[in-house]
Amino acid sequence: MIRATTAIILDKRVQKKDGTYSVKLRITHQRQQKYYPLNISLTEEDWEKIQLKNARGVYKEHQVYFNGIEKKAVDAIKELPLFTFQSFEKKFSQEDRRGEDVFSLFDDYIKSLSLENRHGNAAIYSTSSNSIRNFLNDQRRKKLNFEDITPQWLAEYEKWFVGNGNSMTSAGIYLRSLRTILNIAIERGLLPRDLYPFGKRKYQIPAGRKVKKSLTLTEIKQIVDYVPVTEAEERWRDLWMFCYLCNGANIKDVCKLKYKNVTKTSLTFIRSKTERSTKQDLKPIVVMLLPQIKKIINKWGVEAAGPETYVFGIITTEDSTIRQFKKIQQANKTLNKYMKRIGEELGIDIKLTTYAARHSFATTLKRAGAPTAFISESLGHQNEKTTDSYLGSFENSVKETYQKMLLDFEKTG
């Protein structure tokens, strides 16, 4: 009997726009081949490191995971009296379904995100999963099957979540995570498509109200003129200003900025939020090197050992990806802590996060008369509709100036 053969391969037939390729399970039988995606994408360099016998860290985790998938495929093939691709797919799917519920699929997806070094997304899905577990605990239930999630169940979860003092915005984030898990379940044949609970005339995920978080120029000047109490407070105030001046960069962008990205006249970076996107052409953000930006780099930047050195030394090239992720998380918390103190001292009502810095950058330019197209490009947006959500309301004095123009005819006599 001619058995089918298995292999885990990096499918180089199609390269994604972020430079990675899909990892797939390849089954070969009588010179015919079929490929089954594993929902993981890697660069050629990462793939080669995974193949090493002495692979370590995240590469070893990949290796173990892929070996487990291939073993499962081999076992499924051995149990088939006669191999066909259809019978294999059914058997392999059954192997996947054993003990499969919402949380096991959550765990699998979180693991795949971690293997792709997408630790931020993995953390969101982990928090979402824990929230849903807490909801079940309140209901004195442990297991959650895919069929259990109905429009009514989703409405009850939303009511429970918000009723416990959480925001509608957070509810939306967690429910979008759950929606992704159910879409994966449908792809794997674990949930009939007609039982999908989201959509029109079913359950619609709440959209959190977008509160404008932009500061006025007067408030920005207060932050610039503020006299820090400690050196640490001064450093984080300056890094917040760096975010504001550098097109509203977030703290991850600042942490990952390398000396190779900085020239005598400008600095460039790809927004971390979009660097893995395959749906659009990624354009680098270009920031002109204002004297104030140069001053912050000269003041707080570490010595450049080479072009790959991270400018502010918050993370290093020796750090693993998970170590970098944790350091960036801590940097964000530390920045928010110091800026909260500064905001309270100055009597500024808006929370001085990097999110506020980003909105303030956009709105300040708009108030100065910059066209939305320019602001959109500066923020790295692909369309102006996205940019519009960043533009906060104008001060009352500006509104009054424009409204007075409605009566300018009185000056014409």
Give me the count of residues in the chain.
Answer: 413
Query: Which range of residues forms the domain containing residue 56?
Result: 5-97
Of the ranges 103-112, 132-141, 332-341, the best mean pLDDT one: 332-341
**The token pair that represents 239 in the structure block:** 């890094």
Closest CA to 336 of 237, 244, 254, 255: 237
pLDDT confidence bin for 62, thresholds 50/70/90: confident
User: What is the per-residue pLDDT for 391?
Assistant: 55
Query: What's the CATH code of the domain at 274?
Result: 1.10.443.10
Backbone angles phi, psi at 135, to 5 degrees: -60, -45
Most confident by average pLDDT, 106-120, 175-189, 268-282: 175-189
Listing DSSP states for 198-216 in one string gives BSTTSB-PPPPP----PPP
- Report how far residue 387's alpha carbon sits from residue 268's, in angstroms, rounded to the nearest whole number: 20
> Which residue blocks in 226-353 are alpha helix, DSSP H?
231-245, 251-255, 291-300, 321-346
One domain for residues 349 and 256: yes
Residue 406 lies in a domain: no
Total structural domains within the chain: 3
Buried b (16+ CB within 10 A) or exposed e, 172-205: eebbebbbbbbebbeeeebbeeeebbbeeeebeb
Q: Is 351 in the same domain as 384?
A: yes
Domain contains 291? yes
Identify the band that residue 314 occupies on the pLDDT scale cut at 50, 70 and 90. Answer: very high
Q: Residue 399: pLDDT band by 50, 70, 90 thresholds?
A: very low
In a domain, 47, yes or no: yes
Query: 300: number of CA atoms within 13 Å, CB side?
Result: 21
Q: Which residue has the higher pLDDT, 394 or 167?
A: 167
Question: Do 291 and 272 belong to one domain?
Answer: yes
How many other C-beta atoms can be found within 10 angstroms of the C-beta atom of residue 354?
A: 23
DSSP code of 409? G
Same-domain status, 182 and 39: no
Q: What percent of the chain has pLDDT above 90?
A: 33
Q: Are residues 93 and 108 in the same domain?
A: no
Q: What is the pTM of this model?
A: 0.58
Q: How confident is the model at residue 367 (pLDDT cuts 50, 70, 90)?
A: confident
